[in-house]
Structure 1
Amino acid sequence: MLNSGTDWAGNSIGKDTDFLVMCAANPTADDVALEVDRVRATLRMGTDQLQDLAGELERLVDVRGLALSERRAREDFDALELDEYNDLHTVSRRIAESGEDGRLIEQQLGGNVAALRDSLSQLERIQVDLREAAMQTRTVLVETVVPRWRRTVRQAARMAGHEVSLRVDGETTEVDAQLLQALVEPVAHLLRNAVDHGIEPPPERQALGKSAAGCIVLAFAREGPDLIADCSDDGRGFDLAAVRERAVALGLLDAGEACDDAALARLVLAPGFSTRTRATQLSGRGIGLDVVNQVVREQRGSLDIETTPGHGTRIRLRVPVRLAAAPAIVVRSASHVLALSVRDVEQVLAADRIVEAVDGTQRFDGAAGPMRLVRLEDALGLPDDAFAPPAGVEPAAPAVLQVRMPGGERIAVLVPEPGQTRNVVVRPLAAFVPAIAGIEGAAVLGDGAVAPVVDLPRLLAARDGARAAPALDAARRAAPVCLVVDDSVSVRRTMELFARDLGYQVDSAADGVDALERVARRIPSLVLVDLEMPRMNGVELVRALRHEPATRDVPVIMITSRSSEKHRRLALEAGVDVFLTKPYTEDALAGHIAQLVKRR
């Protein structure tokens, strides 16, 4: 009975410690409040258990029965005149009082939960405001650079002898200052090309029934995480025959090779490509659209060309915004953290209406009708068990995201249990990382984890029919296991990260008793143990390991602040392989581990 009470107290302390660590790592209000509710439930359960133990003790200990012989020996007091108590009765009363105290604490904790929720919610709102304010300091309006582009158009029109007007739409669009600065010169190239190559001279335009003055429209807009910049004109469009002739001359096309208009138009992006036979201040040098395309690629963007002979040309630049806040659903597993953009995610549904089709494929029977079902690990090409829970852990309930594709089709995406939707700051990937279809960028979450931001419609369109990679269960089972034993939570967490970096699977325990329970489940390949711990210290644990044939040869490294020769001799006599004193370096510890593994 006393052991049961001790175990409950130890478990409660461990859970509360984990709760404090979680609070430090996850600042979201709902997560913290839910964890407080869980702690309340644990405390309530422990209080009820303590009350049951007290009642059981009361029933087992009949105080009056134990003291019957003593009362009979007393002649001066009747049993109704004097209540007599022994030590066991006193202990039972103290247990009952402790249970009542625990119940009172649980009630007080419940009264503080609401205040905690309000405070954390307010903190989260302040964090959102602070993030938005910080982003505002980095963004500028497009209108700040419009005068430079108007001057470019005026100068180009005067040199070419054309009449041109420039209309700018979306001048109030907010753009990251560095991104806008990077686009100033490419857009100026587009404007000069439109004036010189696209807009006809006034007499020619009038002969075609157009107004004497040509019009160039420069439009800016935000589309999800991207900035769209359109440059269109009402001029003559591309001379596709001249483009083909020049491409053949440069060896980009064979004389009789078939090529559609869209592919011909993109040939003008080749370095040194120009249809002009002589160079002027405006054109003919082949460094216009090539420079634009190069800058767009450096910004991890894309360039599209639409041209209609006699009616004009539109060139669209699509570049990711450097810093953009976007709502995302975070999904986690033991090995992956992903932020799924909610763009075109219409609903989050329970995964309870999945049916097997006749052809063997799976479909989801939603309110909008049957939808094709795609697993997230298939779409991303992750291992088949990428979101599988660790051994012995109950799998969480998956969910289905109803995604609307650009063509109107709805696809059901099966994902692991999603977290709450949160705003994340999407940062573009570095220039040396190749573009990945469906990956908008990366976001740093509140706990410091870096999560790729996934655009589901783009991902599904780019990887239609993709399958997951083979499962990694065998590789995981083959990975060695390191048992970390230390009563300090911070030291234990640090050692866990260190062992994982070395390629180990990690089990952890707070003392020797917990460690023996972990060993009973699976035999470790390495043990990192502290010397001084409650219940069972490190020396006692090592003796227990050396006593069992299955763990007799497991390497053990003891890490302690005790540096005397007496402690060292005690540890080595118990069977410790390496006695390491604090402070130590991770390189030294890694070296000892490598030597022990090599020796074994």
Structure 2
Amino acid sequence: MVAEFNARARGIELPDAPATTDAPAAPVELAPLSAPIDTEAAAPVEEEFFPVGQQEQVRVRADLLDRLVNNAGEVAIYRARLEQQLGAFRGAMAELDRTNIRMHDQLRRLDLETEAQIVARYQREHDKQDPTFDPLELDRFSTLQQLSRALAESAADISGLQGVLDDLARQYDSLLQQQSRVSSELQDGLMRARMLPFEGIVPRLRRVLRQAATETHKQVSLQFSGTHGEMDRNVLDRMTAPLEHLLRNSIAHGLETPKERRKAGKPEEGTVHVALRREGSEMVLEVSDDGAGLNRDAIRKRAEQRGLLQPGAVLPDTALDRLILEPGFSTADKVSQLAGRGVGMDVVYNEVRQLGGSLEISSVPGKGATFTLRLPQTLAVSQAVFVQIGETQFAVPVAAVSGIGRISHARFSAGAGSYHYAGEDYPLYNLGHLVGQGAAKAEGQPQVPLLLVRSGDLRAAVAVDQVLGNREIVVKPVGPQIASIPGIYGATITGDGSVVVILDAAPLVRRHLAQPQEPAQQAPVVEQRRVPLVMVVDDSLTMRKVTSRVLERHNFEVTAARDGVEALEKLDERVPDLMLLDIEMPRMDGYELATAMKADPRFKDVPIVMITSRTGDKHRQRAFDIGVQRYLGKPYQELDLMRNVYDLLGIARVRE
């Protein structure tokens, strides 16, 4: 009985039990325990109950999957912070290497000085020297020479420790790369788990269309294309109801009755087509029909009745079509389950906007209407290009960027119409104007960077101040209030913990084109105060850090250079308002740098303050002869330094 119960629990059908008789049961021959198992006979049974190639599926709660995706995103953020800290560690190691080289050079010169002292002492004491001792023996060494040898040994120890730290940094870098690969695979897997095929809601849409056609006594066929594409589960769930309404709308308002279609020379059966495709970082849903199109006369009449439009006002067809998106707007003469309630298109539009998408309407009288919904492909993890406008950083999804271009300041300032790239013309726009944050000027750069955006038939070259590079980002929701603004894709957290808004440039350009700014109504431009830039040039890391912190504490922007060569490289990128310069530096000292700056028309007007330990009159006079405005000795007093900085920049110091 126990064996029968176990067999039936496993789903194995047992032969029917023989009828009960009084005859004794025949003896059953048992196989010996050591008999070999016939694997060939057992294989079919195993394949019957465990089919090869069948994939097991597990049902996972949606909230649990969302939490896992969020945790994977947090792991990516922490990894980015570790990479940033490792980069800072490598920078400190490079500074240590330069300091070590400088210390070895100083020790070499110290050894030369001590050797010279030994030789001089040998010459002085040659006559009275004991011939049994060599002048280079230990008793001839002074304490200074012994200390120089000890310093040389300590410097060698520091070099060894530096090598150990370099090896550890390389190992950490390798581990971070492996962790990055595993983290990316984890995120990709979770994202695939979040994606659902669009064809899963096709039966539901067919049923909705069939019911609407039955109620209106119309003949309709529903066609799909691209339904094999996948969408984010959250996006698909929130767009199912708007799609159902668009289908009902096509039946109630778009398609004619069979009699009217025969009269117009159309087949009695109307067609509604739903297409899904991917364009850049967007999923595009198109719902089109071959009906009569939008009744613009009825739309104008109802808009005038509701006070949305002045009688006789001239509007382009696109603006007139978008009036159906107003709340409570309907052109139906009587209220039914499908039309006339004034609830529908405004709800569809609001849902699309909250997802960060856009809705476009295209209608041709007598031929039909097309509703194009552009939605974000995913709401979790993606690659983004980081750009900067003024002091603010933004992220733009990589899938929406077809390339990076550059244009000269002269062409950009002259209002060049477009930028030619890959055989196409991209009209020029300014990202600062699109986001309402002041125009991008790309000051200090030889050319203006451009983001080349391509979405459907839209082409745009968007000017920015600076392109900071490509990074992997974790998209965080920003709430319905901000997500409803066109062009805001979400937000992300960078490695240093700051929040960066993710922009989708295509909706920003479309909104700019739909709502052109009239010059007469533009608000007066408020000139913003520019923070002065001060360049600190010193080979000492400590002096660079201390001076930079002093200047930043007084609200100055600071850039630093290790020597004159690096300072000239940075001067080509951006010209500072003031230079703080040391004299003794490798590769190019302060005198050479100041001479080169005064000989260059681009830099000759930049004030220079010499801060050095050489306080002699000869050094001071040479600096003034070159054209240096101020000369300070090390260590300097903060009050004295800031007084000279404010005087040279012509800024009145405000006492708090």
TM-score by length of 1: 0.63
Asked if the contact 1:330/1:421 (under 8 Å) is kept, the reply is: yes
Distance 2:343 2:279 in 1: 29
Matches within 5 A, 1:72-471: 75=130, 77-79=132-134, 82-84=137-139, 85-111=141-167, 114-320=170-376, 323-331=379-387, 335-342=391-398, 345-348=401-404, 354=408, 356=410, 377=432, 380-382=435-437, 400-401=449-450, 403=452, 411=461, 413-416=463-466, 418-427=467-476, 429-433=478-482, 438-456=487-505, 459=508, 462=512, 470=526
Distance 1:100 1:178 in 2: 61
Distance 1:238 1:469, change over 3 A: closer
Distance 1:469 1:303 in 2: 32
Alignment equivalent of 2:107, drawn from 30, 42, 54: 54
Structure 1 residue 74, shift from structure 2 partner: 7.2
Distance 1:75 1:221 in 2: 99
Distance 1:108 1:32 in 2: 18
Partner secondary structure for residue 473 of structure 1: coil
Which letter maps to 1:382? Q
Which letter maps to 1:413? A
**Match in the other structure for 1:12:** none
Structure 1 residue 440, shift from structure 2 partner: 3.3
**Match in the other structure for 2:617:** none
Asked if the contact 1:354/1:362 (under 8 Å) is kept, the reply is: no
Structure 1 residue 92, shift from structure 2 partner: 0.7
Partner secondary structure for residue 109 of structure 2: helix
Structure 1 residue 233, shift from structure 2 partner: 1.3
Which letter maps to 1:38? G
Distance 1:200 1:457, change over 3 A: closer
Structure 1 residue 308, shift from structure 2 partner: 2.3
Structure exhibiting the larger radius of gyration computed from Cα positions: 2
Which letter maps to 1:241? D
Distance 2:192 2:317 in 1: 42
| Unmatched tracts of structure 2, length 5 or more | 1-76, 533-541, 559-579, 581-608, 610-635, 644-654
Which letter maps to 1:48? I
Distance 1:506 1:281, change over 3 A: same
Structure 1 residue 429, shift from structure 2 partner: 3.8
Distance 1:273 1:547 in 2: 68
Name the Cα RMSD after superposition: 4.8
Which letter maps to 2:100? T
Asked if the contact 1:176/1:323 (under 8 Å) is kept, the reply is: yes
Task: Describe the superposition over 1:416-438 as per-residue Cα deviations: whole angstroms up to 9, x where unpaired.
Answer: 3x333123234454322385565
Distance 1:334 1:173, change over 3 A: same
Which letter maps to 1:54? L
Distance 2:287 2:300 in 1: 23
Structure 1 residue 238, shift from structure 2 partner: 2.8
Which letter maps to 1:327? Q
Distance 2:418 2:261 in 1: 57
Distance 1:107 1:398, change over 3 A: farther
Alignment equivalent of 1:43, drawn from 96, 99, 110: 96
Partner secondary structure for residue 77 of structure 1: coil
Distance 1:73 1:385, change over 3 A: farther
Distance 2:266 2:388 in 1: 59
Partner secondary structure for residue 274 of structure 2: strand
Structure 1 residue 183, shift from structure 2 partner: 1.9
**Match in the other structure for 2:36:** none
Structure 1 residue 306, shift from structure 2 partner: 2.0
Structure 1 residue 91, shift from structure 2 partner: 1.0
Which letter maps to 2:408? I
Structure 1 residue 360, shift from structure 2 partner: 5.5
Question: Which is worse superposed, 148-157 or 79-88?
Answer: 79-88
Which letter maps to 2:450? L
Structure 1 residue 366, shift from structure 2 partner: 8.7
Count of aligned pairs between the two proteins: 466
Distance 1:374 1:269, change over 3 A: closer
